[in-house]
Each structure stands twice: as structure tokens, then as C-alpha cells.
Structure 1
Amino acid sequence: MNSSLALIWTITAATTLLQAGNGLLQALMPLRMQAEGISVASIGVVAAAYGLGFSTGCFLAPSFIRHVGYIRAFASLAAVVSVLVLVMTQAHSTLAWIILRGLTGVTLACIFTVTDGWISARATSSHRGRILSIYMICTKVALMLSPLGIGFGNIRTDGLFMAVSALISLSLLPIAATTTKEPAAPQGVRIEVRKLFAKAPSAVIGAFVVGLVNGPVIAITPVFGVSIGLGQDQAAALLFALQAGSLAMQWPLGWLSDRSDRRYVIAGLAAGTSLVSLLILWASAQGANLLILWSFAAWGGLALCIYSVCVAHACDIVDPGQIVSTVGTLLFSWATGVTVGPLLGAAAMEMMGPKGLFIYSAIASLGLVIFIVVRILQVQRSPTRGGFADIAPTSSATGSLTPRADINAVEDQVSASNNSRQAEEPGQKADASSVARADTAS
């Protein structure tokens, strides 16, 4: 265990610093754009540009890493992101924000592919769960706490953007100082939406709706907070609450999903998301700021966990050799939702005011509930024990990044007993194929 930690501490430290900057940027950008008079609809377009850029980066990442290696890829990409953040201080038009946010989406997707691939390759079979947990906790805590940094600066000046750039630049230090050998070159990911939909439609639609809902909420939450009368630091705290709720509920919900038909859990989470969306609307109308904060935590604990259950559900169904393609396909479905969702969420706010965002969230989540319930009535499935991994839809399938994931999958398959193979094996491979990180959809 200690030797495994020694192999991943540099990439974990680097990713933690990177996510600290990324989390602060998530809160800062929409507030800065709103302060400059940019409309909510335009902010939604900027968020959609990030989703499009991110999905593009996921496809470009394997070939880029294969060409330059993990260390050089991380260093060069982090430097580019740092520069892009500094250029944002000079962005005064919607087009400029769209271009810059789209480029950060491409580069961050490639960086997260580097980090996930590195962790997946270095985590041994016997310690993989604990290694991934340490990595996930560090990065999630950074992403959760960093938006609170809004309270230490002025969104109208450039200081906070400089802080983001500094954190991203500092992430280069652990990578530059590493003495460990970088992992083997990555492989590509095949996207087969139609084929996976035929086998696991609930997972494909679930991942898509997650993007539709989570994308605009995370992107526009700071603007929503300011629009209902909160200060900029309180509005940023709503992002903290979202991530804190996700961190607190991820594993209890995973435990539950391992002991039932996962579609019931997906439907329950979506129904809860719809109800909590209505609670947020009520609390906002009452001006109950503390209840709003707790409601956002509950929303994050429900909505931000759906994707993980969708991935586990799909991995329960497909053949072992299709795990990598499955996770990559679900990522594509999510990215499509993230590209479209901010446009719809922003349009709802334009038409109905701040409440439109969570009216949209409630309706979209309810639509997922209806689809899942219909599928449950059509097809009955047995509960599947094991297999849940805290997976965030923020990078391509890490199992595709290194042949080691496939080797471990074969070893797991051989060692698994016949009556537990379907229950245990997909979970082990899902751990290898997607390392967790908070939903950074916007």
C-alpha cells in the first residue's frame, strides 16, 4: 500500500492543486460575466461551449498523450490552461468567453485523461479501491472548498483570475519533480451509442439527462444565487454545498445500488432531484438562506450521484471486454447533455427569471423518472451485488488509457467464482476505467 501511494502522490498533489483552481474558476466566471452585463442566455452558451470542448478533448487526449507521454502532456496542457485563465481577464464579449471556455474544456479534458490514466495504471489490484479513494477525496475536497475563495477577492478585478492561474501553474511542480516512471501509452475508446442503448437504455438516457440537468445547474448556480439576492460569497457557497452533498452521499447510495436493481436507485435519485428542485424554489421565494444552502447540498447528493449508478448499471450488463467502450460511450452521452443543457437552462431563466433554472431541473429529472419506470415495467432485472464506483463524468474511460486495466480485468475474471463473476468483476473494472472526480460539467 505504501509503495503504491509513493507512485501516485505526485499526480494526486498535482490534480488537487489543479482542481482547486478549477473549482474557483467555476464560481468566478459566471459572476464575472454577469457583472459585465452579459445575459444569462449568453452565459449558458459559454457553458455549452465548455461541454463541447470537453467532449472534443476526450477524443483527442489518447493520441496526444501517446505522442508526447503523460508528463509532458500534463505540463504543456496545464501551462495552456494557466494562460487561458489570464487571457480571460481581457475577455469583454460573449464570443471571447465562448472561445476561451471552449478551449479550457478541450485542455482540461486532456489533463483529466492524463491524471486518470496515471492513477489507473499505478493502482494495483489489491489496493486499487483505497488508492482511488485517497485520490478522489483529495480532489473532491479541493473542488468543494475552492469556490469559497470568491469571498477573498473582487470579481470585477483580475486578482481572482490570477489566483486561479497561480494554482494551475503550481500543479506543474509535483509533476516536474516526480521521479517515478510514467505509465504506458494510452489506447483509444470506441463510441457505440446505438449498440449500448440496445443493451442498457436506462444507462444511456440517464447519462444524457445527467448532462442536461447538472451542466446548467453547476454553470449557472452562482448567477442564480446573486439573482435571488445572495452576496457573491454566499452564491459561491452554493457550489460548495453541491459538492459537499455529493461527497457525503456517494458511497451510501453506492452501497444501496449494489443491493438492488440499480434502475430503482436511478429513478429514486432523479425523483429526489425533482422534488428538491421544487424545495429550492420554495426556499428562494421565502428568503430562507440557510434552507437554500441545505437544499443545494441535498440536490448535489442526489443529482451528482446519478452518473455513477448509470455507469455501474451498464457495466453489470455488458460483456467484460466491452467495459472500456461502455464507459466511453456513457461519457459521450453525458457530454452531449452538457452541451445542450446549459442552453435550455439559461433559456428557462430568461423566460421565467431565476426560478426557471430549477423548474427546468425538476421537469428534466421527472422525465428521467418516467423513462426508467417504463423500462422497469418492461424488463425485470435481478439485483447485482458489488460493482459501484464513485465515477464522475469528467474524463474519458481510464481503462482505455493503459493495457494494465485489461490485464487486471482478465485476472479478476479468472479468479472470480462462477456465481459471483457478474457481481464482482464489473465493479473492479469500473474502478480501473473511471477514476472519480467531482462533476465539473461547466
Structure 2
Amino acid sequence: MPKQLSALFVASFLVNLANAAISTMLGILIATGGGSQGDVSFIAAAYSIGFGLGCFAAPNLARRSGVIRTYAAAAAIATITIIGLEALDNTLAWAALRFVMGAAIATVLAVSDTWINYEAPKDRRGQVIALYSIVLGLASIGSQLVFLWMGSDAESLILYFAALMNIAVAVIAVTKSEQPVLPPATSAKITLNIPSPTAGAGAFVSGFSATSIISVLPFYLTSHGLSVSLVAIVIMLLYGGRLFAQWPVGILSDRVDRRLVIISLAIPAILVMIAAAVIGDGEGRAFSGAQGSAVQVLAFLAPFLCGAAIFPLYSVSSALAFDRAADGTTTEVSSTLLLLYSIGSVVGPTAVMIASTAIGDYALQACVGAANLALIIVAFSRLSRIKAPEDPSPSVPVPENSLKMVQEAGNISEEEVQDATPGS
């Protein structure tokens, strides 16, 4: 890791740790407070809308105010929203605060990606991005240790998460690293472009599934009798599955038809949803071992498998889209994928919220299972009619989120321009 990026890595670790902990805590608090699955889905949808808007607003903010100031301001706003979550106690207020927090976290991630790509040596950029993804993944896992340590008393630590955000601001403010100087925005409008329907569907389902599960699962498990510590272990396994599968799935997608890889990721996601529906309200007994050690092992294996399936889906879909993309269109393609991911992140929790009024506890399983089944149908239909590229482009490292894929596409576009410039 370049020495000048150490402060950014530390700050981003703290921000992601606090954000992941808040996401889990809200689900637990709503469940213990007698709220509904619709409440937690509504708050998650608000966060996703804010995140999507933040993705598109961040570049102009960074150009106008500078990268360091934008990062510090966004992290400070996230701090204020956490304090607001502690001070207020109703669904509408929490949704509004999570909307603002989503925009702030998106800005932090977008600025971080820009900064990393500015500082990282070109010949080691992929390694630096991969390391950054691992750091954020470890932060997500580490955020659940608080719940293992404190149990049901963890909610008393909410202001400590705000302090972590403030520490991140301080770390960035005193860094000696030179901030990137962003070029002015071009007047040309970016058009939407999705050369592969399967890739577009995969990006949408990735946002749909990941956001729905991460936001609703803590509430679902708590309302079904799991202790706070067990909920934390399940979420840790979910994030652990992501870290374990990211690189192997990327390598596999470079060797076989990426549509087959997409199908192979959707199938276990469906199977886990079916298993959860079959267990019904017996999760507490399954995870505690009351139904036998074999059932307990399967119960803990399920979230790990689910994380390994839903999180790598976006990068495989992105690589498939870039395989089909025409020269010079990578920015348009990546922007379209980001938009589809963001739409899925909003539609997913919204669908769960609506479905919960009709089918109750089975809403999460039904919605995520149906979305992945639709993805399989799209992928199979394209497999039967369209051949895979004979020379697919190498898959980029699986990103922590869609913003990294957008940044990578921007780098590719920049290199294309440089290569086409006379005398470059």
C-alpha cells in the first residue's frame, strides 16, 4: 500500500465500520421496539435513494470544494445523522436521517475511490484497489464484534459510532497526502448504454438482493428469537462469504461463460431463501442447536453461502457488460450499471415492504428468491441465442461496491483517450 494512502485507508475503515454497525443496529432496535418488517424496509429504501443521489452529486462537490474538504464534510454529516438517530425515535425521522446518511456515505466512497486511483501507481493499481476492498470488508466484519461483546447493550454505543466518524474526519484533515486535482467536468452528457441484458439484470438483482438482505435480516432474525450476539455472528458470516468468494468468483468468470457464473450465483441465493422459508420461525432453535448439530451447522453455513452468492454478482455482471461494450463506451456502460444497481437497491426493500403486508415474515425470502429466479431466466434465454465472446476481457477485482466499478471504468476511458492522443 502506498504510504500516502495510509490515512485514507484508516479513515475509510472507521467510516465503514460505523456505517455497517448502524445498519445492523437499526434492524435490531426496530425488532425489539415492536416495529414491522415494513418499517425497516422503508428506512433501507430511503438510505438507498440517498446513496444513489450521493453517487452522482459527489464528483461536482469534489471539484468545487476539493477532495479532502468533501470527504471531511461528508463524514461529518454522517456523524450528525448518527446523533440524530440517537435523539429521535420514529420511523419517518429515521428514514430521513438514513437518506442523508446514504448520500454522505456514497460521497465518502466516491471520494475515496478517486483519491486511491490518483495516488496508486499505475502498475499496482489493481492490487491497491483489491486491498482497499479487503479493508472495507474487514471493517464490515469487525463492526459485528461490538454486538458479540455487548449483546443487547450494544445500542448504548451508538454515540461511539458517531465518534468513529469524527475520528475519520480528523485523520483526513491532518493527512500529509496531496489531494487529487480533479479536471473540470465536460459539457458532454453521458448517455445510458447496456450492451448485455444479462449484465443489466445482474446489476439490478445485485442491488435488490444485497440491500434487502443486509437491511432486513437483522430485524428478521431478532424478531424470530435470535439473541443479539447470534445476529451479529450471522451478519459476520454473510460478510465473510463475500470476502471468501470475491477473488475465486472473479477468476472463474474469466475462464467460463460469465452468464453461467451468474446463474451459478443466483441458484444458491434461491436455495438459501427457500431454506429460510421452510425453517419459518424456527431460526432461534436452528442456530442454538436445539434441532441438532447437523441443522445448526447448516444454519450457520447458509448466511456464508448467501454472502458468497449475492455480493460478487455485481462485478461479474460488470465484466460481462464490458465484454460486450463498444470501444470508447465504458463510461456510459458503467454509469448505466450503477444506475441499475441503485434502482435495485431501492426497489428491493420497497418490494419487501409491500410484500410484508400480504405474506408477512416470508416477504424477504419471496422477493429475493423471485428476483434471482428472474435473473436465471434472463441468463438462460440469452445463453440459448447469443454466444459468449471468444476473447473476453479480464475481470476486474470484485469491488466492495458499485462505485469502484465506475471508477475503474473511468480509468479505462482515460487510458483510451491518452492512447488516442497524438504524441502520447
Structure 1, unmatched stretches of 5+, are: 415-442
| Contact preservation (8 Å) 2:53, 2:103 | yes
CA distance in 2, matches of 1:69, 1:400: 22
Within the candidate set 198, 203, 207, 2:203 is matched to 207
Give aligned-pair identity as a percent.
28
Is 1:295 paired with 2:292? no
| RMSD value, Cα | 2.3
Number of aligned residue pairs: 406
Amino acid at match of 2:368: S
Task: After superposing the two structures, state which structure 1 stretch, 339-348 or 51-60, moved more.
Answer: 339-348
Offset from partner CA, 1:97-134 (integer Å, 9 cap, x none): 11101010111111111001111122222111221122
Structure 1 residues 214-363: aligned runs within 5 Å? 214-283=210-279, 285=282, 287-289=285-287, 290=296, 291-363=298-370
Amino acid at match of 2:308: G
Within the candidate set 73, 76, 79, 1:79 is matched to 76
| Contact preservation (8 Å) 2:316, 2:395 | no
| Contact preservation (8 Å) 2:330, 2:412 | no
Distance change in 2, residues 1:157/1:146 (3 Å): closer
Within the candidate set 389, 404, 414, 2:397 is matched to 389
| Contact preservation (8 Å) 1:266, 1:306 | yes
CA distance in 1, matches of 2:189, 2:242: 29
Q: Which residue matches 2:131?
A: 134
CA distance in 2, matches of 1:241, 1:320: 40
TM-score, normalisation: structure 2:
0.89
Amino acid at match of 2:398: D
Structure 2, unmatched stretches of 5+, are: 288-295
Q: Which residue matches 1:398?
A: 407
CA distance in 1, matches of 2:336, 2:310: 20
Offset from partner CA, 1:161-193 (integer Å, 9 cap, x none): 112111111112321221121112165796544
**Which secondary structure state, in structure 2, belongs to the residue aligned with residue 288 of structure 1?**
helix
CA distance in 2, matches of 1:334, 1:310: 11
Within the candidate set 349, 368, 387, 1:380 is matched to 387
**Which secondary structure state, in structure 2, belongs to the residue aligned with residue 354 of structure 1?**
helix
Offset from partner CA, 1:359-395 (integer Å, 9 cap, x none): 3222221111011100111211135252232124353
**Which secondary structure state, in structure 2, belongs to the residue aligned with residue 126 of structure 1?**
helix
Task: After superposing the two structures, state which structure 1 stretch, 56-65 or 229-238, moved more.
Answer: 229-238
Offset from partner CA, 1:237-270 (integer Å, 9 cap, x none): 2211111001101111111100112111111111
Amino acid at match of 2:12: T
How far is the alpha carbon of 1:154 from its aligned partner? Answer: 6.5
CA distance in 2, matches of 1:11, 1:39: 38
Structure 1 residues 176-195: aligned runs within 5 Å? 176-185=173-182, 187=185, 192-193=191-192, 195=193
**Which secondary structure state, in structure 2, belongs to the residue aligned with residue 178 of structure 1?**
coil
Distance change in 2, residues 1:242/1:25 (3 Å): same
Amino acid at match of 2:218: P
**Which secondary structure state, in structure 1, belongs to the residue aligned with residue 74 of structure 2?**
helix
Distance change in 2, residues 1:232/1:347 (3 Å): farther
Structure 1 residues 29-44: aligned runs within 5 Å? 29-44=26-41
Is 1:54 paired with 2:61? no
Q: Which residue matches 1:432?
A: none
**Which secondary structure state, in structure 2, belongs to the residue aligned with residue 120 of structure 1?**
helix
**Which secondary structure state, in structure 2, belongs to the residue aligned with residue 171 of structure 1?**
helix
| Contact preservation (8 Å) 1:260, 1:382 | no
Distance change in 2, residues 1:209/1:170 (3 Å): same
**Which secondary structure state, in structure 1, belongs to the residue aligned with residue 4 of structure 2?**
helix
Task: After superposing the two structures, state which structure 1 stretch, 76-85 or 29-38, moved more.
Answer: 29-38
Amino acid at match of 1:159: S
How far is the alpha carbon of 1:407 from its aligned partner? Answer: 4.1
